[in-house]
Amino acid sequence: MKNRLFLIISTITVFVFFAYLLFFSENNLKKHRELNVKIKQLDENIAAAKNQINNIYTFEQLESDTGGILEKYAREQLQLQRANEDVFVVVYE
C-alpha cells in the first residue's frame, strides 16, 4: 500500500514538474517557438545581406567593364533612363 501511494505521488509530481517546464517556466514552449521564428528571420536577413554583397561585387565587376554591360544592367535592374527617352514600367498585379 505504501509503495503504491509513493508511486502515485511520484508520478503526479513528475507530471506537475513537466507541465511547469512546458507551460509556466521562463523557457516554455511558446518562447521557444518565438525564438525559432526570430532565428529563421535572422537567417533570412543574413542570406539577403550576403546576396546584396554578391550583387555589389558583381556591380563592381560590371563597372570595370566598358562593353556596355553596365548600361544594360542599369537599365534593366535600376530602371535608369537617358535624358531624351521615356521608360515604361509594367507592374503585374
For 16-62, the pLDDT digits (tens) are 998 888 888 888 888 889 999 999 999 998 888 888 767 765 666 66
pLDDT: is 28 or 72 the higher one?
28
Alpha carbon distance 17, 2 (integer Å): 22
Average pLDDT over all residues of the chain: 80
pLDDT of residue 65 exceeding 90, the answer is no
Neighbour tally for 73: CB within 10 Å? 16
